[in-house]
Amino acid sequence: MRVRKVVTRRGRHIRGYFPSKKLNRMVAWESLLEKDALLLMELSPGVLSYQEQPEEISYWDGQAMCSYVPDLRVNLCSEISLLIEVKPSAELERPVVKAKYQRIAQHLQERREHFLILTEQEIRQEPLFRNLSQLLYWYNHAPENLPSAKEVAAKLKGRDHTCIQECLEIFGPGVTYSMIAKGLLVPDMSLVLTPASSVQLPVGGQHAAIYF
C-alpha cells in the first residue's frame, strides 16, 4: 500500500512508521515521543481518526510570516477536531520555544481551531502507558469475530460491569484482552491492569474514552 506523502519540516526527517489498524496504513513519526503518542491515538476509543503532519499553517510572529506544521490532526467521536503538537517538556521551558507556541496557539484560537500540546508527562504517564503498550498486541491480533456489547451483557447476565478474571473464565485471554484493547470492555486505565481489575461495558459515542 502506498503511504501518503507527509509534509516534512525543514531540518527534520522521518525516523519510522507506526502500523495503524485504525487508519489501515503506516503512520510516519519523527521522534520516539511522537511514536509513543501514536499509541494513545490508536487505542483511544474516542479517537475516530488521526493524520500526521496534516497541513502547513502560516502565522504572524510579530515580525514576519512563519510556517508551522502540527504533528497531528485528531478527529474525536465528539465531532471535535484537534491539532496536536508533541514536544518534550524541557524544550517547552526554553523562552523562545514557549513564546513561539503561545503565538501559534493564539493564531489557532483566532481560527477557532482546538490546539493541544502533549509532552512526555501526558504521553508516558504510568500505569496508563504500560497498560496500552501491553494491550497493543491484542489490538493488532484480535480474533475476527469479537462478541458484541449485547452478547457480552448476556454472558454477564445483564450486568454492565465485572472483573477481568470473570471475563477470562468466560471468554478466554485472547478475546478478553482484545475486547479491552478495542474499547469493548473499559477498565480504569489509571490503575495497573490485573485479573482483579474492574471492567464495564462502554458508554461509547461522545463519551468514549480518550487516553490523552
Task: Say what the pLDDT of residue 199 is.
Answer: 97
* Closest residue by Cα to residue 104 from 74, 61, 141, 49: 61
pLDDT in tens, 8-63: 554 557 899 999 999 999 999 999 999 999 999 999 999 999 999 999 999 999 89
Judgement on whether residues 103 and 132 belong to the same structural domain of the protein: no
* Mean pLDDT across 173-190: 97
d(CA 148, CA 151): 5
Task: For residue 183, give Cα distances in angstroms to 55, 165, 175, 178.
Answer: 30, 17, 12, 9
Mode of pairing for the β-strands spanning 16-20 and 25-29: antiparallel
pLDDT surpassing 60 at residue 3? no
Judgement on whether residues 20 and 84 belong to the same structural domain of the protein: yes
pLDDT in tens, 73-94: 999 999 999 999 999 999 999 9
Is 6 inside any structural domain? no
| Average pLDDT along the chain | 93
pLDDT in tens, 117-140: 999 999 999 999 999 999 999 999
d(CA 84, CA 105): 11
Q: Percentage of residues in the chain with pLDDT exceeding 90?
A: 88
Task: Say what the pLDDT of residue 205 is.
Answer: 74
Which of these three, 94, 123, 152, is where a domain ends?
Answer: 123
pLDDT confidence bin for 158, thresholds 50/70/90: confident
pLDDT surpassing 50 at residue 1? no
Domain around 163: 128-207
Q: Percentage of residues in the chain with pLDDT exceeding 70?
A: 94
Is 106 inside any structural domain? yes
pTM for this predicted structure: 0.91
Is 8 inside any structural domain? no
CATH number of residue 64's parent domain: 3.40.1350.10
> Are the CB atoms for 43 and 132 separated by under 8 Å?
yes
Is 42 inside any structural domain? yes
Judgement on whether residues 28 and 109 belong to the same structural domain of the protein: yes
